[in-house]
Amino acid sequence: MIAVIDYGVGNLFSVEKALLQFTSDVIVTNDEAKIASAQKLVLPGVGDFGECMRNLEKTGLIPVIMDKINSGTPLLGICIGQQILFEGSEESPGAKGLGIFKGMVKRINAPGLKVPHMGWNNVTFSEPRNAIFKEHGEHPYFYFVHSYHCVPEDKSIITATAEYGETITAAVAKDNVMATQFHPEKSGDVGLLVLKQFINM
């Protein structure tokens, strides 16, 4: 079972609908027992870093999410669901992220360009490719909506980048935890391929 974690933020049903194209074993839930029994987790998120963390803390689900990660369950973070895997964000000073990855989320530095970075942009994959990108062609386009991006301390966890005024982190992964800044559920066939590969891991 794939559990899409419902903590009151994110395109939950868009993600669910996209996953359902490849498997019927998907549930949107905030039930601790169902999350604990899931084989894979998806952590979506949209909006403000601090608000997302406050909502997640209110659910009481952080311990079970951390237990699942520590036990090796694959987790896919999407958009703010990627950012809250880090220690904190310039967007919400004082708000602590989950700290699964060391580093901060910083505002995009794009002089002369509109921020938020919104729309389609092509990405460059790090080699060797992460499993969720192994069937993609070179420099596919994905859909982004964000003003901040993740800046990991360990650059080796960056699995894809995009250019928008500066090089921005488009995806990260380490062991069983992977995440994308772009929205695979809004990125057409190339985005669906990311979700298909995650399901098939």
Across-strand partners of 35?
none
Task: Tell me, yes or no, if 150 is annotated catalytic.
Answer: no
DSSP assignment letter at 71: T
Instruction: Establish whether the linkage from the previous residue to 128 is cis, with ω within 30° of 0.
Output: yes
Tokens of 198: 């995650």
Given the residues 117, 146, 149, 183, select the one marked as catalytic: 183
Task: Tell me, yes or no, if 183 is annotated catalytic.
Answer: yes
Is 79 in contact with 94 (CB distance < 8 Å)?
no
Is 180 in contact with 168 (CB distance < 8 Å)?
no
Measured between alpha carbons, how far is 81 from 67 in angstroms, rounded to an integer? 17
Is 179 in contact with 131 (CB distance < 8 Å)?
no
Which of 13, 4, 8 lies closest to 39 in space, CA to CA?
4
Residue with tokens 């800044």: 181
Rounded to a whole number of angstroms, the CA Rg of the chain reads 15
Given the residues 52, 117, 146, 185, select the one marked as catalytic: 185
Given the residues 79, 91, 149, 150, select the one marked as catalytic: 79
Helix (H, G, I), strand (E, B) or coil at 86: coil
Task: Tell me, yes or no, if 91 is annotated catalytic.
Answer: no
User: Catalytic amino acids?
Assistant: 79, 183, 185
